[in-house]
């Protein structure tokens, strides 16, 4: 066995999953704002008890590395690092938006995938992948406007996935746009973590920090320089 416990805390959806060589064994989640510190230990125990697996049987722990909620990422990271250190196992980190895109691609395999997380006002964190899962635009912040992502929408079908879809659908009007309302979850994180484990892409337990992304800067609208 090669058991990996995965934690996802980047949004209000707190989730935990256990995979064996990339195959999902069990998962649990709880959707509630501000509940991560209370629910994460409970969900971990629920998954482990459900499977009868001991924490000492784990080969690695994987965590969603961001971007996302500062508090959520901090809680997930500190928990994952604590497990990795105390159990003397490997630490793996998975790009949150890549995890979202991986989830979307299983439902819309021929689409360009734009994974987005809500930031503030009309701002989002986004990352863009082609239909084969290859990154074609890296993680960045962007202000949503009527001409956002037109390059991809003119080329073909685009699946927008994440918790920014409500505001994105207000400004993006295209027959090629499909909005998949899914949140990051530990199940997709665990599938990607197995790839990292096989390729020995491990993180330093003392030095790993999440990708909070948000810098103390103001993004200006391309249409209104005073916004």
Angstrom distance (rounded) from CA 50 to CA 44: 10
* Contacts of residue 204, Cβ cutoff 8 Å, sequence gap at least 6: 91
pLDDT tens digits, residue range 171-215? 999 999 999 999 999 999 999 999 999 999 999 999 999 999 865
Residue range 89-146, pLDDT digits in tens: 999 999 999 999 999 999 999 999 999 999 988 999 999 999 999 999 999 999 999 9
Q: How high is the pLDDT of residue 120?
A: 84
Give me the pLDDT at residue 16, please. 98
In this predicted structure, what is the pLDDT of residue 213? 81
Average pLDDT over residues 25-42: 97
CB 191 within 8 A of CB 197: no
| Mean pLDDT of all residues belonging to the chain | 93
**Helix, strand, coil fractions of the chain, as percent rounded to 5:** 30, 30, 40
In this structure, are strands 135-143 and 123-129 parallel, antiparallel, or unpaired? antiparallel
C-beta of residue 91 within 8 angstroms of C-beta of residue 203: yes
pLDDT of 226 above 80: no
C-alpha 159: how far from its chain's center? 16
Percent of the chain with pLDDT over 90: 90
Residue 222 confidence (pLDDT) above 70: no
> Domains along the chain?
3-95+184-198 (3.30.420.40), 97-180 (3.30.420.40)
Residue 70 has what pLDDT? 94
Model confidence at 37: pLDDT above 80: yes
Report pLDDT digits (tens) over 82-91.
999 999 999 9
pLDDT the model gives residue 217 = 43
pLDDT of res. 214? 65
Sole residue written with tokens 């995979």: 19
pLDDT over 70 percentage in the chain: 94
């Amino acid at each position: 066995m090669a058991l990996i416990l995965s934690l996802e805390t980047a949004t209000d959806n707190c989730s935990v999953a256990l995979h064996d060589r990339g195959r999902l064994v069990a998962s649990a989640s709880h959707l509630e704002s501000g509940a991560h510190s209370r629910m994460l230990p409970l969900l971990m125990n629920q998954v482990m008890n459900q499977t009868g697996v001991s924490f000492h049987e784990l080969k690695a722990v994987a965590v969603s590395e961001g971007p996302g909620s500062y508090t959520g990422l901090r809680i997930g990271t500190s928990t994952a690092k604590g497990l990795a250190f105390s159990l003397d196992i490997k630490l793996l980190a998975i790009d949150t938006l890549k995890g979202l895109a991986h989830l979307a691609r299983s439902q819309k395999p021929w689409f360009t995938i734009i994974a987005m997380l809500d930031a503030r006002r009309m701002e989002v964190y986004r990352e863009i992948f082609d239909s084969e899962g290859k990154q074609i635009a890296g993680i960045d912040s962007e202000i949503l406007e009527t001409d956002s992502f037109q390059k991809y929408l003119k080329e073909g079908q685009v699946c927008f996935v994440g918790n920014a879809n409500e505001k994105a659908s207000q400004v993006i009007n295209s027959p090629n746009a499909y909005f998949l309302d899914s949140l990051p979850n530990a199940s997709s994180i665990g599938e990607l973590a197995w790839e990292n484990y096989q390729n020995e892409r491990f993180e330093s337990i003392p030095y790993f920090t999440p990708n909070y992304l948000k810098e103390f800067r103001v993004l200006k609208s391309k249409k209104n320089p005073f916004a």
